[in-house]
Chain A
Amino acid sequence: MNNSEKKRMNGEAEEENEEDVEDEGRDAWERTYTDERSWEALEEDESGLLQPIDNKAIYHSQYRRRLQSLSATSAASRIQKGLIRFLCVVVDLSKAAGEMDFKPSRMAVIAKHVEAFIREFFDQNPLSQIGLVIIKDGVAQSLTELGGSPEAHIKALMVKLGCAGDSSLQNALELVHDTLHKIPSYGHREVLILYSALSTCDPGDIMETIQKCKKAKLRCSVIGLSAEMFVCKHLCQETGGSYMVALDEGHFKELLLEHAPPPPALAEFAIANLIKMGFPQRAAEGSIAICSCHREAKVGEGYICPRCKARVCELPTECRFCGLTLVSSPHLARSYHHLFPIEPFTEVSARQLELSRVASKTCFSCRESLLTPGAACTKCKQYFCLDCDIYIHESLHNCPGCESRRITPAAASATMS
């Protein structure tokens, strides 16, 4: 018990937060088996002794690799990105989703990570919308309409969890096609299918449906949970999406989150477009009004559409009455970093650190002393520890070093221009 507890500390620190919430209902002995497979965190060294895997080092190196590959593809050529996305997430809840090869079941794992994905998605794409579709008993049903509220989607999914029957890819595609093909042309139509089953029972010719999706410019991506299927591969190739198969839970999460940042824009969409948007004001404290989305009287909360003065609860959304796209300026600002990401830091070995002129061998942002290899910003030449490096690139999207240098007027004017 003690032992595993320790491993939890050093091993999966980053997942701790999510799991603590779930773990409360379980006994301690249950916890050790369900949420981590402690035997998998061991590896054999040359002499045959068992050692815990240094997860942190692996995590760091994985991160560096991902960053490099990302910057290699995006920074080299300035790629236009679709910031306004309309994404349909199709969750396959046929009976294959009840299989137990992911613990406790595929369905539970999917639900858990879809929740995380939805939050991450709205965090990265504040201007975008998601709709949920499930496949069950051979038919596809729409769980939630396209919308911008993460909570509504998550709630709907958790209520409907449960699997039965066959799976039909064609039905799902038809449904998604009907929902997405009326989206205005500036929006990027995307489909993300989480497919557990290994076959699809279709009422008609799926190849026709695939061509229809291709014509409607739906970008369909599939994440498989068991093995590669020809028809999925074909679908993704035709529509320009990506097809991946998850090896295990960690890999599944990684694959899912890869879909959170906006994909490069399709060539057909690459023409510049002006979109009319409204920036609603927050309603005054204490004012009572009926909101247009829930049709309930509310005190104080919500925003007012600048055109028709209707009340809405959440942003971003589309005004129910006048159809204006409502956003807030921070949303726009947060989408901005996808277009101009901070460049990846260069890696600095411990020895380089010794030789460098910096007197204080501390991280510029958190002030911890730098013992392990760190990273340096290419612009401001400040040193950062790896944890801060990850934080800066994945969450902050601003380099503290560069930002603090802007105080000098010369630098400020330089950045302005």
Chain B
Amino acid sequence: MKFQIEEVTVYFPYDNIYPEQYTYMVELKRALDAKGHCLLEMPTGTGKTIALLSLITSYALAKTESPIKLIYCTRTVHEMEKTLAELKFLHNYQVKHLGAAAKMLAIGLSSRKNLCVNPTVSSAENRDSVDAACRKLTASWVRSMAAENPNQPTCEFYENYDRAAGGAVLPAGVYTLEDLRAFGKEKGWCPYFLARHMVQFANVVVYSYQYLLDPKVAGIISKEMQKESVVVFDEAHNIDNVCIEALSVSVRRQTLEGAIRNISRIENEIDRFKDIDAGRLRAEYNRLVEGLALRGDLSASDAWLANPALPDDILRQAVPGNIRRAEHFLHVLRRLVQYLKVKLDTDKVEKESPVSFVASINSDAGIDQKALKFCYDRLHSLLMTLEITDTDEFLHIQTICDFATLVGTYARGFSIIIEPFDERMPLIPDPVLQLCCHDASLAIKPVFDRFQSVVITSGTLSPIDLYPRLLNFHPVVSRSFKMSLTRDCICPMVLTRGSDQLPVSTKFDMRSDPGVVRNYGKLLVEMVSIVPDGIVCFFVSYSYMDGIINSWNESGILKDIMQHKLVFIETQDVVETTLALDNYRRACDCGRGAVFFSVARGKVAEGIDFDRHYGRLVIMFGVPFQYTESKILRARLEYLRDTFQIKEGDFLTFDALIDVMNIKLTDRNLNQRQAAQCVGRVIRSKADYGMMIFADKRYSRHDKRSKLPGWILSHLRDANLNLSTDMALHIAREFLRKMAQPYEKTGSTTGRKTLLSQEDVEKLGNNGAQEMLY
């Protein structure tokens, strides 16, 4: 369908549109008009992606005089593929209606691992080794060597691409990663470098968050993006985590040992070069004197990860004299590693600010701040000079240099925390030194400054006013949309008591109470007997899950569950979990029924949808708190309180921390956002339905409950706030029966319109115009 929003004609590839999609587009359009940033929350399953894509591309079509570019950031490759598929569908529709005028170029960009078509390279097992294998074939010195020596292997795809030079362009169209590979194979061009080249010319670019937020990657990939771009962060509910992760480094013992190995290898290389080609090292020294810290004159295939600090903070100065010579630089590195090693040998937790840390390095190891700051660039230059291609071997020393550069550059918003052992296992020494960024706004600031509009959107951004403060920006539009439904297809319940009327909770002092464990078990046993197909259970942590499953096994509860449904358990092993999930789905499909035990912050909670019959019921056992004793969390809270005046309690209830594994419950604070993400996975489309049970007495308190997103809250009736197991059973039975009745898509009989046709939208548009007149 095709309709007007103010002066823009929007092409929408479906015949009907949800009202909330329409209002979403109207708000988005206003933000684009104002050339400002915006923050939009709309529940999952309402078609955010297609609404975004169709409005922004239509907007670009309408404003031909100042063409805008769309940069769409997703979290995972899977989401990227989905987005591109939808874009393709939309593009076909637009071309059908507008003809050639609607032509555009849209590409997805991912790492070499996902794009490489060279059979020898792409067979490597992880990202870093694919990158290294590629460099081995395409680095400029390798290629020049190959020109003399025909036995030197090179990558034919890259050679072809390089030979075609300016002629290597993608024709207009929408390319998924698969399409890019196919195109590359057909033409014999390297799809990775082709895509990187085409990013500058494409109308729509879809790639991962890191390409914009992580300064190491953004420096090479995204530096030439035009200002007139709209940047969209989809599923951005933990964008702050991505931001701080991009600027955080952690150093372990293995890192240091690896670094020492790297240093000795570099030393050998230097010695070798001294014998063969002393002039080369001399040339590098001269270059560094002139301050050409390897900028500008590199071919695309040589480009490495850029400086970990943000572009504005990198000094455009010559590398300081004391590290210009390769040997001197190696000595500095050695001293640094030695110093860190001593630091790690502590038996108590230490917390330091970067300023004092740098001062003590200066006094103990004799390395000044400026030298630290240039560590990364200097290392980079050295590796280049030494013509080292197997970069995956040198990750450890890179980490150390990352750390040095960041510590040398930033005095505020960071802290250094040394923990001698893991809090959960105090007996096993596993010292870790972490440089933690506390300020999410640091990494995202260049994005806000550089681009005209930044759109942050997700299914759950509650509470919506906290994001602008965390990320330190001023949105012109910030709104939360409700889902319009023809029927009450979600049924959230708060269960506070077991069938014996004793309260249930995962509060620290109650969690091991056999009564609570039994009541949780009873709840699940009863539920598996009345809920069809799939049930997903979330626990607060792996250790808690292990404990409770053990005691259920002993008391025979697990056996009772198995009579009705098969049981699958998430583990920390990715392969195992994937297999379990796969079988879980099969069991749901064939009618056997299954229960999936998962952890609220585990792999499953991030990114896998339990839609339709794969998740008729989600039970959240307890409240998934952040582990509040964590030093990193404490430090970040302090920083937030001092800098942004965000109260600790507020933030904790909101929760934003990265440390996924550290989960432990304390009774005061909870992470509602995490809980909301878990249960949000039940509903993915309007015909779908599902129940959610929040099984903890603390959910009945208003201050905790109110942090749940609006679309769940609006379905949470007062009657369902304080249930016991048997009451919940009764409600579940009724609900499942009601939902099994035939479903009417448009809702015409109930009078609640949830699908708008073309005429409806036109009417809406006219009324809106009139409202504005009066």
A residues neighboring B (CB under 8 Å): 96, 101, 169, 198-202, 205-207, 224, 226-232, 244-247
Contacts and interface: CB of A to CB of B under 8 A. Distances in A.
Interface residues of B, number: 24
B533 A230 contact: yes
Interface in B572-606: 588-593
B741 A247 contact: yes
16 contacts: A198-B532, A198-B564, A198-B593, A199-B591, A199-B593, A202-B590, A202-B591, A205-B590, A206-B591, A226-B532, A226-B737, A227-B531, A231-B590, A231-B591, A245-B737, A247-B738
Interface in B361-392: none
B740 A230 contact: no
A198 B530 contact: yes
Contact of B590 (A96, A206, A227): A206
Interface in B288-344: none
A232 B588 CA distance: 12
Contacts of A232: 591
Given A198-B529, A198-B530, A246-B737, A230 B589 contact: yes
Given A227-B740, A228-B739, A231-B590, A101 B532 contact: no
Nearest to A169: B591
Given A198-B529, A228-B739, 11 more contacts: A169-B591, A199-B592, A200-B590, A200-B591, A227-B532, A228-B532, A229-B613, A230-B533, A231-B589, A231-B591, A245-B737
B733 interface: yes
A200 B591 CA distance: 5
Contact of B740 (A200, A201, A207, A224): A224
Interface string B199-213: 000000000000000
Given A169-B591, A205-B590, A199 B738 contact: no
Contact of A228 (B530, B565, B590, B740): B740
A240 to B, nearest CB: 16
A245 B741 contact: yes
Contacts of B287: none
A198 B741 CA distance: 16
A227 B691 CA distance: 13
Nearest to B736: A227
Contacts of B593: 198-199
B737 A227 contact: yes
Contact of A199 (B564, B616, B737): B564
B531 A198 contact: yes
B612 interface: yes
B707 to A, nearest CB: 31
A229 B533 contact: yes
Nearest to B588: A230
Contact of B532 (A207, A229, A244, A246): A229
A227 to B, nearest CB: 4
A241 to B, nearest CB: 14
A245 B741 CA distance: 6
Interface string B714-749: 000000000000000000010011111110000000
A232 B740 CA distance: 12
A205 B591 CA distance: 11
Contacts of B733: 101, 226-227
Contacts of A202: 590-592
Interface of B: 529-533, 564-565, 588-593, 612-613, 616, 733, 736-742
Nearest to A234: B589
Contacts of A201: 592
A281 to B, nearest CB: 48
Nearest to A246: B737
Contacts of B740: 224, 227-228, 244-245
A416 B442 CA distance: 91
A195 to B, nearest CB: 10
A199 B532 CA distance: 7
B683 to A, nearest CB: 15
A229 B591 contact: yes
B592 A200 contact: yes
A227 B531 CA distance: 7
A199 B566 CA distance: 10
Nearest to A243: B740
Nearest to A230: B613
Contacts of B590: 200, 202, 205-207, 231
A224 B740 CA distance: 9
B58 to A, nearest CB: 36
Contacts of B742: 244
A70 to B, nearest CB: 16
Q: Give me the 6 closest cross-chain CB pairs, A-B, nearest first.
A: A231-B591, A245-B740, A227-B736, A230-B613, A228-B740, A199-B593
Interface centre among B532, B589, B736 (most CB of A within 10 A): B532
B298 to A, nearest CB: 55
A229 B565 CA distance: 13
A223 B612 CA distance: 20
Nearest to B742: A244
Nearest to A168: B591
Nearest to B689: A228
A232 B613 CA distance: 12
Nearest to A245: B740
A242 to B, nearest CB: 9
A61 to B, nearest CB: 15
B592 to A, nearest CB: 6
A247 to B, nearest CB: 5
B588, B589, B590, B592: residue with the most chain A Cβ atoms closer than 10 Å: B590
B612 A230 contact: yes
Contacts of B736: 226-228
B680 to A, nearest CB: 21
A408 B616 CA distance: 65
Contacts of A247: 737-738, 741
A232 B737 CA distance: 15
Contacts of A229: 532-533, 591, 613
B532 A230 contact: yes
Contacts of B612: 230
A55 B529 CA distance: 34
B235 to A, nearest CB: 27
B616 to A, nearest CB: 8
A231 B530 CA distance: 16
Nearest to A247: B737
B228 to A, nearest CB: 48
Nearest to B564: A199
B595 to A, nearest CB: 11
Contacts of B530: 198, 226-227
A232 B531 CA distance: 14
A279 to B, nearest CB: 42
A363 B593 CA distance: 56
A339 to B, nearest CB: 27
A244 B741 CA distance: 7
A202 B740 CA distance: 24
B593 to A, nearest CB: 4
Most buried by A among B532, B591, B593: B591
A206 B741 CA distance: 24
Contacts of A224: 740
Contacts of A198: 529-532, 564, 593
Nearest to A199: B593
A224 B616 CA distance: 16
A300 B266 CA distance: 112
A169 B590 CA distance: 10
A249 to B, nearest CB: 12
A62 to B, nearest CB: 15
Nearest to A235: B591
Nearest to A248: B737
A200 to B, nearest CB: 4
Contacts of A199: 532, 564-565, 591-593
A248 to B, nearest CB: 8
A413 B62 CA distance: 71
Nearest to B534: A230
Interface centre among A199, A202, A232 (most CB of B within 10 A): A199
A226 B616 CA distance: 14
